[in-house]
Structure 1
Amino acid sequence: MTTTDFEYTEDFAQRMDDLDPLQHFRSMFHFPYVNGKEAIYFCGNSLGLQPKSVREYLDRELKNWELMAVDGHFHGEDAWYHVRKKSKPALAEIVGAHEHEVVAMNNLSSNLHFLMVSFYRPTKERYKIITEAGAFPSDMYMLETQVKFHGFDPADAIIEVAPRPGEYTIRTEDILAAIEDNQDELALVMMAGLQYYTGQVFDMEAITKAGHRVGIPVGFDLAHAAGNIPLQLHDWGVDFAAWCSYKYLNSGPGNISGIFVHERHADNTELPRFGGWWGHDEAIRFKMEKGFEPMYGADGWQLANSNVLSLAVHQASLDIFKDAGIERLRTKSELLTGYLEFLIRKVGVANGVLEIITPNNPKERGCQLSLLVHKGGKLVFDHLYANGVVGDWRHPNVIRVAPTPLYNSFTDVFRFAKILEHSLQKFA
């Protein structure tokens, strides 16, 4: 189906929903209410909806805690000592990895800091980091404090690749050129896989290959990519990555993160890292002896024991992902976001009121579209919310909307467009 097949009618949206093989997943989630009515929820890029199964998964672990207390670590169907392993198959599929290359642990910013202990190894000559301009603030702060920790000036050590004048997204060739031009001083490439503000998907494979050509590791923050777009971290050769679980992975506010470490680093005991009990070889962990011996793969970067209750909530969502399949979700996502783009161009772009700053090539974006509001600004956004649309406002004048294929429908997109059309007529 192409944009020429789309129609701005409720009947067309309903027909698309009727043909959607994933439509039944919508009923597996709780939707919030705005002004007494079920919301049109387009904010999965900030916080995913709660799966209805969460309470069952959480209650199971609470019951294990109630009945077994400390014995729950070693007894029962999902003994807590090995509970991290349960999430590995789904996570490996979602990010395109082997199971030993992924583990759920900690939170996103902590994980990226811990990974940079291993992969940012600056010298007097090679100490610079390449990232994207306008990165999410947490990434900015992490890189700033990492280079300061090593005694360097962020203004000198951090190279930000920006869009060209008059453009909103960053050209791949400009990132590759920055790597090539600064190769003698580079120590690391660390950037988003999907840019939070514009929704641009970066060519992670090309960027990784360019970094490796000049002898430096490459890592990605996948907060907005994991569960949104298909990833092939192992095949692309990415050195490390981390993501959160509360956006497209629908695992609850502030919930557990995950990491990827490529298997070529799996048993490199010479690679510096901060050790902890749970990263130590589990076969000898309870000998309680000195001398850190990291486990094979990503598990060797663990610190503390697993957060069982967090993992239970996480698993509720991951089991839904396993049933849906990331490739089927992507197929629906391209159609759903394509329909959203078609309708936005119908109601707001043609008259110059709105501008979509997300790439129009489906391969260069996920489900998020970022709308630059030239007239009306925050009034338009507030009117959308008052009429039941939960989106996201980013200063100075961008509205982010993300129709998520697991639980959003084509009818949601149609209803959003009608409300947007009315908002623009009123305020723009």
Structure 2
Amino acid sequence: MCYTVERKCAEDFDRADELQKYRRQFYFPETNGKPYLYFCGNSLGLQPQKTEEYVQCEIKKWQQAAVEGHFTGERPWMDYHEFLTTNMANLVGGKPIEVVAMNSLTTNLHLLMVSFYRPTPQKNKILIEKSAFPSDRYAVESQIRFHGYDPKECLIEISPPQGEYEISDEAFAECIAREGKNIALILLGGVNYYTGQLFPMEKITKWGHEQNCVVGFDLAHAIGNIPLELHKWQVDFAVWCTYKYLNGGPGGVGGSFVHERYAEDSSLPRFCGWWGHEKSTRFAMPDNFEVMSGAEGWQLSNAPVLSMAALIPSLEIFAEVGMDKLRTKSLKLTSYFEFLLQEKLSNEVEVITPKDTNKRGAQLSLHLKKGGKEIHKALLENGVICDWREPNSIRVAPVPLYNNFLDVWLFVETLETLLKDKKA
């Protein structure tokens, strides 16, 4: 595409954007009666305008039907999680039997590691990226200790070369080939939360399986951001949250994927709860646990209905738009963003997200050479919401579902003005 630094370029792209209409289906926070420029969908997605209607529907049912709401209405509570399954499965490239909405991300991660981290004296290590999200690291270390091993010996961290930010495909391949005989589990973020790097999940799964390693992914920053094909890639398991790109609301329900090849494997160890019991006999209240087929067999409790209701409108938008169109626009947005930064601020800003668009999602992480945290605060004061992460990164996520090219242009203009003021 041909980019220029003039505002008209952004406006022309927006006029030609077939997804521009979806922007109007979300609420933007405001300051002094004017919408913020919002680039924080990688932390908390905006609220779809239909969310309140869906949540209020269940609140009204609770008022009017009480316990009978489990069996009445358009979406009976008894099976409420099932109303999310198809659309969520499509987003991760899984079959409905492989996907379930339940719990929260880290809870689901622990539940699946009970089943899929099976250390032995010879094969007991877990491979993560060095800059993994802290919750993943804490969960992994606690699982290692739970099994009687020492994280200092059993945790392998892969990192970029000194002074760089990207982990190459070759580095992943070499590490797995070298350490694979000792690795029980490979657990990586699909998209690294800090740098925004998209990891080669299909390749990593193949390399891991060649070494008889179980391979799982935390998709918190990947689902709703990039197209996924978990079933095709033969990924063993994955977990995610829904409050980032999926716009499910703060603390929204999590999701899990377990590959179909484990669907009938009742021998896998697991922590059990009654909602994972075979549905047809669940209310007979038997003493013996009979596991459900597929990912639903890892459920513990009945559905958090209000949280799930808040997610449905966004999933319906994703189903209507499709990830292919969103990915196409996302690549254009980040490319345009990077162009403007290079043309106008190359001396002040370093982009640490991979330059190869196939290795990133809807996020650019910026290192400001001077005044990073101070500039981030000034951005907020000037009507821009983005994200600061220690030690020195401003994460900016132009989300294709509701951000546009003019948003990106205005962000760069604002940042340029603030940096000039700081110099003066």
TM-score > 0.5, shorter chain as reference:
yes
Q: Tell me the SS of whatever aligns to 1:155.
A: helix
Distance in 2 separating the partners of 1:293 and 1:344: 57
Partner of 1:207: 204
Contact 1:34 1:386 in 2 (8 A): no
Residue in 2 aligned with 1:154? 151
Residue 291 of structure 2 corresponds to residue 315 of structure 1: no
**Amino acid in structure 1 at the alignment position of 2:370:** K
What's the CA shift for 1:37? Answer: 2.4
Counterpart of 1:222? 219
The amino acid of 1:397's aligned partner reads: N
Q: Deviations over 1:12-58 (max 9, x none)?
A: 11111111101111111110123542100000000000111011001
Amino acid at match of 1:372: H
2:402 pairs with 1:402: no
* Corresponding position of 2:388: 393
Q: Give unmatched runs, 5+ long, in structure 2.
A: none
Q: Structure 2 CA distance, aligned partners of 1:126 and 1:156?
A: 12
Residue 373 of structure 1 and its aligned partner are, at CA, apart by: 1.1
Which stretches of structure 1, 4 residues or longer, exceed 2 Å deviation after superposition? 34-37
Q: CA deviation at 1:180?
A: 1.2
Query: 1:348·1:421 contact (CA, 8 Å) conserved in 2?
Result: yes
**What amino acid does structure 1 have at the position aligned with 2:101?**
A
Distance 2:339 2:410 in 1: 14
- Equivalenced residue count is 423
Q: Does 2:112 match 1:115? A: yes
Identical amino acids, percent of aligned pairs: 52
Shift of 1:169: 1.3
Give, in whole Å, the separation in 1 of the partners of 2:33 and 2:54. Answer: 29
Residue aligned with 1:183, SS: helix
- AA matched with 1:152: Y
What is the letter of the counterpart of residue 15 of structure 2? Answer: D
Secondary structure of 1:304 counterpart: coil
**How do 1:11-410 and structure 2 match up within 5 A?**
11-349=8-346, 351=347, 353-410=348-405
- Secondary structure of 1:406's counterpart equals coil
Query: Match for residue 424 of structure 1?
Result: 419
In 2, distance between residues paired with 1:335 and 1:38? 23
C-alpha separation between the residues in 2 aligned to 1:184 and 1:247?
36
Partner SS for 1:184: helix
SS in 1 for 2:316: helix
Structure 1 residue 186: deviation in Å? Answer: 1.2
In structure 2, C-alpha distance between the alignment counterparts of 1:375 and 1:310, rounded to whole Å: 41
Q: Give, in whole Å, the separation in 2 of the partners of 1:36 and 1:69.
A: 39
C-alpha contact 1:355 1:372 (8 A) present in aligned 2: yes
TM-score by length of 1: 0.97
Using the TM superposition, give the Cα deviation of residue 323 of structure 1 relative to its aligned residue in structure 2, in angstroms. 1.3
Equivalent AA in structure 2 for residue 427 of structure 1? K
Q: SS of the counterpart of 2:157?
A: strand
- In structure 2, how many angstroms separate the alpha carbons of the residues matched to 1:277 and 1:34? 47
Structure 2 residue matching 1:405: 3-state secondary structure:
coil
Alpha carbons 1:348, 1:424 under 8 Å: kept:
no
1:330-383 alpha-carbon deviations (Å, 9 max, x no partner): 11111111111111111211x2x2110000111100010000111222222122
Task: Tell me how far apart the structure 2 counterparts of residues 34 and 356 of structure 1 sit (CA, whole Å).
Answer: 28
Q: Distance in 1 between matches of 2:364 and 2:31?
A: 22
Look up the equivalent residue of 1:265 and give its one-letter code. Answer: Y
Measured after TM superposition, the shift of residue 414 of structure 1 is 0.8
Residue identity opposite 2:181 in structure 1:
D
Counterpart CA distance in 1 for 2:210 and 2:57 is 49
TM-score relative to the length of structure 2:
0.98
Deviation at 1:185, TM superposition (A): 1.4
Q: How far is the alpha carbon of 1:124 from its aligned partner?
A: 1.3
Partner Cα separation in structure 1 for residue 123 and residue 360 of structure 2: 33
> Once superposed, what is the RMSD of the aligned Cα atoms?
1.0
Instruction: Give the secondary-structure state (helix, strand or coil) at the position aligned to 1:226.
Output: coil
Q: CA deviation at 1:63?
A: 1.6
- 1:218 Cα deviation after fit: 0.3
SS of aligned partner of 2:265: coil
Q: Contact 1:107–1:257 (CA<8 Å) still a contact in 2?
A: yes
More displaced stretch, 31-40 vs 370-379: 31-40
Unpaired segments of 5 or more residues in structure 1? Answer: none
For residues 396 and 282 of structure 1, what CA distance do their matches in structure 2 show? 48
Where 1:159 maps in the other structure, the secondary structure is strand
Determine if contact 1:347/1:420 at 8 Å carries over to the other structure. no
Give deviations 1:104-132, integer Å, cap 9, x for gaps: 00000000000000000101111000110
Letter matched to residue 369 of structure 2: H
